[in-house]
Copies of this chain bind each other. A is one copy, B any other.
Amino acid sequence: MGEKSIQKKNYIIVKAREVFQEKGYLTVTMKDIVEACEISRGGLYLYFDKLSDIFMEVLRLESEEADDVFMPAISESMSSADILALFLQEQKKELLRSKNSLSRAIFEFNFQNEIPAKENSLRKQFDMAVKVIERLIIGGNEEGDFRCEDPRGAARNIMYVIEGLRISAQTIGITEETVNREILYLMKSIAA
Protein backbone atom coordinates (compact mmCIF):
# COMPACT_ATOMS: atom_id res chain seq x y z
CA MET A 1 0.00 0.00 0.00
CA GLY A 2 1.60 3.21 -1.18
CA GLU A 3 1.85 6.61 0.46
CA LYS A 4 -1.23 7.79 -1.29
CA SER A 5 -3.37 4.95 -0.10
CA ILE A 6 -2.23 5.51 3.47
CA GLN A 7 -3.78 8.93 3.18
CA LYS A 8 -6.95 7.36 1.86
CA LYS A 9 -6.92 4.84 4.65
CA ASN A 10 -6.71 7.65 7.15
CA TYR A 11 -9.49 9.46 5.34
CA ILE A 12 -11.65 6.39 5.69
CA ILE A 13 -10.83 6.14 9.37
CA VAL A 14 -11.81 9.76 9.94
CA LYS A 15 -15.10 9.33 8.13
CA ALA A 16 -15.77 5.99 9.79
CA ARG A 17 -15.21 7.61 13.15
CA GLU A 18 -17.98 10.06 12.45
CA VAL A 19 -20.26 7.17 11.62
CA PHE A 20 -19.37 5.33 14.81
CA GLN A 21 -19.94 8.47 16.84
CA GLU A 22 -23.32 8.84 15.25
CA LYS A 23 -24.55 5.26 15.35
CA GLY A 24 -22.47 3.32 17.82
CA TYR A 25 -20.91 0.09 16.67
CA LEU A 26 -23.40 -2.72 16.37
CA THR A 27 -25.77 -1.02 13.98
CA VAL A 28 -23.09 0.28 11.66
CA THR A 29 -22.74 -1.52 8.32
CA MET A 30 -20.05 -1.55 5.70
CA LYS A 31 -22.52 0.32 3.54
CA ASP A 32 -22.70 3.12 6.09
CA ILE A 33 -18.95 3.53 5.92
CA VAL A 34 -18.93 3.34 2.14
CA GLU A 35 -21.54 6.07 1.90
CA ALA A 36 -19.86 8.28 4.44
CA CYS A 37 -16.62 8.01 2.48
CA GLU A 38 -18.36 8.34 -0.87
CA ILE A 39 -16.36 5.49 -2.27
CA SER A 40 -17.39 2.28 -3.99
CA ARG A 41 -18.45 -0.85 -2.24
CA GLY A 42 -15.42 -2.75 -3.41
CA GLY A 43 -13.13 0.19 -2.72
CA LEU A 44 -13.52 -0.10 1.01
CA TYR A 45 -12.33 -3.69 0.93
CA LEU A 46 -9.03 -2.57 -0.52
CA TYR A 47 -8.28 -1.06 2.85
CA PHE A 48 -10.23 -3.07 5.38
CA ASP A 49 -11.50 -6.61 5.50
CA LYS A 50 -13.97 -6.30 8.31
CA LEU A 51 -15.90 -3.68 10.17
CA SER A 52 -14.09 -4.60 13.36
CA ASP A 53 -10.77 -3.86 11.68
CA ILE A 54 -11.99 -0.39 10.80
CA PHE A 55 -13.19 0.19 14.33
CA MET A 56 -9.94 -0.95 15.86
CA GLU A 57 -8.03 1.41 13.62
CA VAL A 58 -10.36 4.21 14.67
CA LEU A 59 -9.57 3.41 18.27
CA ARG A 60 -5.84 3.29 17.59
CA LEU A 61 -5.85 6.71 16.00
CA GLU A 62 -8.03 7.97 18.85
CA SER A 63 -5.63 6.85 21.55
CA GLU A 64 -2.62 8.25 19.68
CA GLU A 65 -4.29 11.62 19.51
CA ALA A 66 -5.35 11.43 23.15
CA ASP A 67 -1.72 11.01 24.17
CA ASP A 68 -0.70 13.95 22.03
CA VAL A 69 -3.20 16.18 23.77
CA PHE A 70 -2.71 15.24 27.38
CA MET A 71 0.96 14.43 27.63
CA PRO A 72 2.30 17.94 26.91
CA ALA A 73 0.08 19.48 29.54
CA ILE A 74 1.46 17.49 32.43
CA SER A 75 5.06 17.95 31.47
CA GLU A 76 5.09 21.40 33.06
CA SER A 77 5.76 22.12 36.67
CA MET A 78 2.39 21.68 38.31
CA SER A 79 1.42 20.35 41.68
CA SER A 80 -0.06 16.86 41.85
CA ALA A 81 -3.36 18.33 42.92
CA ASP A 82 -3.40 20.60 39.88
CA ILE A 83 -2.58 17.74 37.56
CA LEU A 84 -5.37 15.64 39.01
CA ALA A 85 -7.75 18.57 38.64
CA LEU A 86 -6.61 18.97 35.06
CA PHE A 87 -7.14 15.26 34.42
CA LEU A 88 -10.65 15.47 35.78
CA GLN A 89 -11.35 18.55 33.64
CA GLU A 90 -10.24 16.57 30.59
CA GLN A 91 -12.55 13.78 31.56
CA LYS A 92 -15.35 16.24 32.03
CA LYS A 93 -14.86 17.66 28.58
CA GLU A 94 -15.03 14.23 27.07
CA LEU A 95 -18.02 13.20 29.13
CA LEU A 96 -19.91 16.23 27.94
CA ARG A 97 -19.02 15.68 24.34
CA SER A 98 -21.20 12.59 24.62
CA LYS A 99 -22.80 12.91 21.20
CA ASN A 100 -19.42 13.40 19.61
CA SER A 101 -17.68 10.67 21.46
CA LEU A 102 -17.04 7.07 20.66
CA SER A 103 -18.18 5.94 24.11
CA ARG A 104 -21.30 4.24 22.90
CA ALA A 105 -19.48 2.51 20.06
CA ILE A 106 -16.72 1.39 22.40
CA PHE A 107 -19.25 -0.05 24.82
CA GLU A 108 -21.08 -1.88 22.07
CA PHE A 109 -17.87 -3.16 20.62
CA ASN A 110 -16.62 -4.46 23.93
CA PHE A 111 -19.93 -6.08 24.81
CA GLN A 112 -19.50 -8.28 21.85
CA ASN A 113 -16.89 -10.77 22.71
CA GLU A 114 -15.50 -12.34 25.76
CA ILE A 115 -12.18 -10.57 25.66
CA PRO A 116 -9.36 -12.32 27.50
CA ALA A 117 -8.13 -9.98 30.22
CA LYS A 118 -4.67 -9.86 28.70
CA GLU A 119 -5.87 -8.39 25.42
CA ASN A 120 -8.58 -6.23 26.88
CA SER A 121 -7.34 -2.77 26.08
CA LEU A 122 -10.16 -1.13 28.00
CA ARG A 123 -8.98 -2.94 31.09
CA LYS A 124 -5.41 -1.83 30.46
CA GLN A 125 -6.49 1.78 30.10
CA PHE A 126 -8.55 1.55 33.25
CA ASP A 127 -5.72 0.05 35.28
CA MET A 128 -3.26 2.56 33.91
CA ALA A 129 -5.53 5.45 34.86
CA VAL A 130 -5.94 4.07 38.38
CA LYS A 131 -2.18 3.91 38.78
CA VAL A 132 -1.68 7.45 37.54
CA ILE A 133 -4.35 8.81 39.86
CA GLU A 134 -2.93 6.88 42.81
CA ARG A 135 0.47 8.48 42.21
CA LEU A 136 -1.07 11.90 42.02
CA ILE A 137 -2.91 11.38 45.28
CA ILE A 138 0.26 10.18 46.97
CA GLY A 139 2.04 13.19 45.53
CA GLY A 140 -0.76 15.43 46.73
CA ASN A 141 -0.51 13.92 50.20
CA GLU A 142 3.20 14.71 50.28
CA GLU A 143 2.66 18.20 48.95
CA GLY A 144 0.06 18.81 51.64
CA ASP A 145 -2.86 19.33 49.31
CA PHE A 146 -4.52 15.98 50.04
CA ARG A 147 -5.03 13.89 53.12
CA CYS A 148 -6.04 10.50 51.91
CA GLU A 149 -5.36 7.34 53.84
CA ASP A 150 -6.14 4.95 50.99
CA PRO A 151 -4.77 6.45 47.76
CA ARG A 152 -5.37 3.32 45.73
CA GLY A 153 -8.91 2.90 46.97
CA ALA A 154 -9.60 6.55 46.25
CA ALA A 155 -8.12 6.22 42.76
CA ARG A 156 -10.32 3.27 42.01
CA ASN A 157 -13.34 5.04 43.39
CA ILE A 158 -12.64 8.02 41.15
CA MET A 159 -12.36 5.82 38.09
CA TYR A 160 -15.57 3.94 38.79
CA VAL A 161 -17.39 7.24 39.24
CA ILE A 162 -16.04 8.40 35.90
CA GLU A 163 -17.14 5.14 34.28
CA GLY A 164 -20.54 5.60 35.90
CA LEU A 165 -20.77 9.09 34.49
CA ARG A 166 -19.66 7.89 31.09
CA ILE A 167 -22.34 5.22 30.82
CA SER A 168 -24.91 7.57 32.31
CA ALA A 169 -24.09 10.09 29.62
CA GLN A 170 -25.13 7.50 27.05
CA THR A 171 -28.25 6.30 28.81
CA ILE A 172 -29.90 8.64 31.24
CA GLY A 173 -28.03 11.73 30.11
CA ILE A 174 -25.88 14.06 32.18
CA THR A 175 -25.46 17.81 32.40
CA GLU A 176 -22.36 19.88 33.03
CA GLU A 177 -23.69 20.65 36.46
CA THR A 178 -23.88 16.96 37.24
CA VAL A 179 -20.27 16.40 36.27
CA ASN A 180 -19.08 19.46 38.19
CA ARG A 181 -20.88 18.24 41.27
CA GLU A 182 -19.39 14.79 41.08
CA ILE A 183 -15.88 16.07 40.50
CA LEU A 184 -16.22 18.45 43.41
CA TYR A 185 -17.42 15.61 45.62
CA LEU A 186 -14.47 13.47 44.61
CA MET A 187 -11.92 16.23 45.25
CA LYS A 188 -13.44 17.08 48.64
CA SER A 189 -13.22 13.48 49.74
CA ILE A 190 -9.45 13.50 49.38
CA ALA A 191 -8.74 17.14 50.16
CA ALA A 192 -6.66 18.09 53.16
Contact = CB atoms under 8 A, between A and B. Distances in A.
Contacts of A162: 164
How many interface residues does chain A have, given as a range?
Answer: 35 or more
A167 B107 contact: yes
A167 B122 CA distance: 12
A12 interface: no
Number of copies: 4
A110 B173 contact: no
Nearest to A121: B172
A30 to B, nearest CB: 14
Interface string A125-162: 01000000000000000000000001001101101111
B168 A126 contact: yes
A132 B111 CA distance: 30
Interface stretch (A62-70, A73-81, A181-189): A181-189
A49 B27 CA distance: 20
Contacts of A186: 157
A104 interface: yes
Contacts of A164: 159-167
Contacts of A111: 24, 104, 107-108, 170-171
A166 B167 contact: yes
Contacts of A182: 156-157, 160
A117 B175 CA distance: 12
A162 B172 CA distance: 14
13 contacts: A104-B111, A107-B171, A110-B170, A110-B171, A111-B170, A123-B173, A126-B172, A150-B185, A157-B185, A159-B164, A160-B182, A163-B165, A164-B166
